[in-house]
Amino acid sequence: MGTYILKRLLLIIPTLFIILLINFVIVQIAPGGPVEQAIQQAESLQGINGNKAGGETAAVDSNYQGARGLSPEMVEEIKKQYGFDKPAHERFWQMLKGYLSFDFGTSFFKDKPVTQLIYEKFPVTISLGLWSTLLIYLVSIPLGIKKAKTHGLLFDKSTSLLLAIGYAVPTFVFGVLLIVFFAGGSYFQWFPLQGLVSENFAQLSPLGKVKDYFWHMALPLLTMVLGGFAGLTYLTKYSFMDELSKQYVLAARAKGLSENRVLYGHVFRNAMLIVIAGLPEALIGIFFVGNLFVEIIFNLDGIGLLGFEAITQRDYPVIFGTLFIFTLLGLVLRLISDVMYQIIDPRIDFETRGAK
């Protein structure tokens, strides 16, 4: 197992390199970069239009369409400010050297180091991601097991409607509905509309801080649970149903073992393998995709919202910094998933199977 873990750790390096390279190329050819945005802002401040009075047009040797009203010196200064005075391959190499020491550069538009921005946003994203993942698994796994045991019966059929709604309705719709009904919309104002804590959080007692924190987290967490529990419940149910139909279960029952002993002593270990295999993808989806919508709806300033704003603003250091963090996290989580595979079922040996 040690050799396999070492191989996977070494594979993280070329994987990160390829992902960063592909995204670097994509953002370089995408229109509306930071230089173009800065040129447009400079033009608007100077009151410059694309065409001069009398039809005269300033000819500037630049690749940027918005640079027609600025002098070549000013355009070069703007390019130098954002580091675009250097060739693309040199900028990419400098970015990689900085990443070796987790130096992601400085945000173009927030004028702060990217590491500082990520550090400031991390508590919100971690709070949402960890608590929602825990709650989703606490709901989905027991519900999936119960549905597998009662397949075709009243409980299974009645909960299938609930799962269908949870699976079909987007997460942000649940968030909007909860705000309308319980956060000062048209009905009740039981929960706060935005923020992770109250303004007087520092003055509260320790117990008061805990209550205030979960009071603010209630609706965002409920939104994420409603939007994410259906898929895992279905996965758990059909994984257990597949195991319950196998020969070793029939043999265990023939020996006189109780249903709970069969289910949790034999079936559970095998059925949970596929659930564990999907954990890394579930975590990445919850931390980035799920968090993004929830952070926007409830005005929670986390990493998901930071990455979204960076994409719309073409803030390349923030884009690549958040991409690097999420990619590295995903690769590490997948490695942890494989290790948990072998812990749960020692029969699985990745080294002898030649897994990569």
**121, 225: one domain:** yes
Tokens of 309: 């704003």
**122, 78: one domain:** no
CA atoms 241, 243, 244, 245: torsion sign: positive
**189, 327: one domain:** yes
pTM (two decimals)? 0.71
**136, 200: one domain:** yes
Q: Which domain holds residue 203?
A: 114-353
Is the residue at 88 inside a domain? Answer: yes
Pick the residue with more confidence: 352 or 203?
203
Q: Report how far residue 24's alpha carbon sits from residue 209's, in angstroms, rounded to the nearest whole number.
A: 43
**pLDDT (tens digit, 9 = 90+) per residue, 206-245?**
888 888 888 888 888 888 888 888 888 888 888 888 888 8
Domain CATH for 236: 1.10.3720.10
- Contact by Cβ (8 Å): 156, 147: yes
Is the residue at 122 inside a domain? Answer: yes
**pLDDT (tens digit, 9 = 90+) per residue, 102-114?**
888 888 778 788 8
* pLDDT of the residue at 42: 65
pLDDT band at 349 (very low <50, low <70, confident <90, very high): low
Is the residue at 134 inside a domain? Answer: yes
Closest residue by Cα to residue 283 from 131, 135, 121, 133:
133
Q: Report how far residue 353's alpha carbon sits from residue 355's, in angstroms, rounded to the nearest whole number.
A: 5
The C-alpha torsion from 279 through 282 and 286 to 288, rounded to 10°, is 100
At how many degrees (to 10) do helices 2-29 and 316-344 cross?
Answer: 160
Closest residue by Cα to residue 104 from 20, 6, 184:
20
pLDDT band at 62 (very low <50, low <70, confident <90, very high): very low
9 phi, psi to nearest 5 deg: -65, -40
Is the residue at 227 inside a domain? Answer: yes
Least confident of 1-15, 22-36, 252-266: 22-36
Residue located via tokens 């597949």? 242
Number of structural domains, the chain? 2
**130, 87: one domain:** no
Q: Report how far residue 288's alpha carbon sits from residue 240's, in angstroms, rounded to the nearest whole number.
A: 29
**296, 222: one domain:** yes
**128, 46: one domain:** no
**51, 153: one domain:** no
